[in-house]
Chain A
Amino acid sequence: MQTLCISDALDLYMILKLHLPEKPDESGIRYVKEIVDSMAEKNPQDYLDSILMMTGMTEDELEKGYSTIEIRDMFVDGLVTNQIASLAEFGRTLKL
């Protein structure tokens, strides 16, 4: 998975904005868990939208080609590759 360009990264930030915790923890595990929990509670569609954004795949490609666990791993991988905590900080600095 590749790091997103600035345009896609800010779009990703806008999708995740509602779900991003204030500060990341040391390992990042709680951070990711809080994002997923918030998505499940507030808007599950954001989970799919963010994976599509990070992978560049279509919904169809994702559903037919990958299992639920593989998709979850892609999500976590995408957050790590795109340094989500730093992206959150940047988005907040811009007051987006």
Chain B
Amino acid sequence: MRSSVINVGGREIEIPRARLRTWFELERIRRKIKEASERGEAATVSDLLCVYLSTASGESEDVFASAPWYETAIAFGLVSALNMSTVNFPLFRNTVSTGKEVPWNYEGRDWYEWVHVLALAYGWTLDVISELEIEDGIALLQEVLTDEQLDREWMWSMSENAYEYIPSSKKSKFRPLPRPAWMLPLPSAPMSVKIRKDMLPVGKVIDLANIVH
């Protein structure tokens, strides 16, 4: 099992890699840290850094709040790296937030949405899902969501609503069911085109491609 050893306040603390439930909570705190940073709320950021480390280690928040700042900062860096997913899951790509909150929302609902999907698909209990490895949990969730989407697409293709009649051509055109943003293909890299040497610019060429604006 992977773990990190951090030195805080003269103590050596071994922190194991989080399981799915704890990881979910850590990511929620990280999002809050990012939001508080964007608002410039230093006090909230420092509190949340201690909450993050306390959640990951099981130690009291005071341990991190009273230590020299660089020990807490180094610990945060190490624990964040330890709990990063080792796989770049498409599920987290192109995430689009509608910004609208549904009336049946409640604090922490996003975790129960994950549990609900996994429990329904595999028949696992809350405890089993909570103790999954981070990558296992995310990968399985993505597989379930992919299956659901492909099932919906098949059912949609059977429906007459999926075909739009075009009067000018007197034919029906298939309208595919829209896919979630993470299932859409990534934009392809621009093609590299060879240019004849005699058509290249003459004189001293300054490459501006890497200049930061």
Contact = CB atoms under 8 A, between A and B. Distances in A.
Interface of A: 2-11, 13-14, 82-83, 86-87, 90, 94-96
B69 A3 contact: yes
Nearest to A89: B73
B46 A7 contact: yes
5 contacts: A5-B72, A10-B42, A11-B43, A86-B73, A95-B37
A6 B50 contact: yes
Q: Is the interface of A mostly helix, strand, loop or mixed?
A: helix
Interface residues of B, number: 21
Interface stretch (B60-68, B115-123, B182-190, B196-204): B60-68
B70 A96 contact: no
Given A6-B73, A9-B69, A14-B40, 20 more contacts: A2-B68, A4-B68, A4-B69, A5-B67, A6-B64, A6-B67, A6-B72, A7-B42, A10-B43, A11-B43, A82-B69, A86-B70, A87-B70, A90-B69, A90-B73, A94-B33, A94-B37, A95-B34, A95-B38, A96-B42
B155 to A, nearest CB: 44
Contacts of B72: 5-6
Contacts of A86: 70, 73
Contacts of B37: 94-96
A14 B68 contact: no
Q: Is the interface of B mostly helix, strand, loop or mixed?
A: helix
B47 interface: yes
Interface in B5-59: 33-34, 37-38, 40, 42-43, 45-47, 49-50
A6 B49 contact: yes
Contact of A13 (B42, B65, B67, B70): B42
Interface of B: 33-34, 37-38, 40, 42-43, 45-47, 49-50, 64-70, 72-73
A83 to B, nearest CB: 6
A49 to B, nearest CB: 13
A87 B45 CA distance: 14
B45 A5 contact: no
Nearest to A86: B70
B57 to A, nearest CB: 15
Most buried by B among A11, A13, A82, A90: A90
Nearest to A82: B69
A81 to B, nearest CB: 9
A96 B46 CA distance: 11
Contacts of A94: 33, 37, 45
A57 to B, nearest CB: 19
